Amino acid sequence: MKKKSIIAIEFDEKFERQENLVPYLQIDKRSKPGLKARRVSVDFPEWMVQELDRAAQKLGVSRQSLIKVFISDKLKETH
């Protein structure tokens, strides 16, 4: 299904009138900046991998998810 096309002024006017804008949006092409995944290889000591696995199992998540959460939390602390 091809999306309708309008110019920015028309879009703004429709927005101000609180009209439905969905027919004009390309929702299938949306993305949030900075969320593209990049593969990073990190070597951990065996004891650390074992502790990560225990913590991940306890929380019911994968090791990768746990590492992402830990790193994200630490990065937020630094800001």
Place of tokens 């994200």: 72
For residue 19, which amino acid is it?
A: E
Give the chain's count of helices (H) and strands (E): 3, 0
The pLDDT of 35-59, averaged and rounded, is: 95
pLDDT band per the 50, 70, 90 thresholds, residue 79: confident
Task: Examine the pLDDT at 30 and tell me if it is beyond 80.
Answer: no
Q: Which of 62, 45, 44 is closest to 53 using CA atoms? A: 62
Cα–Cα dist 22/12, whole Å: 13
Q: pLDDT value at position 3?
A: 60
Q: pLDDT value at position 68?
A: 95
Contact in structure between 20 and 4 (CB atoms under 8 Å) = no
Q: Which of 38, 42, 41, 10 is closest to 24 using CA atoms? A: 10
- The model carries a pTM of 0.58
> Which carries the bigger pLDDT value, residue 21 or residue 2?
21
Contact in structure between 63 and 52 (CB atoms under 8 Å) = yes
Give the residue extent of every domain in the chain. 8-28+39-77
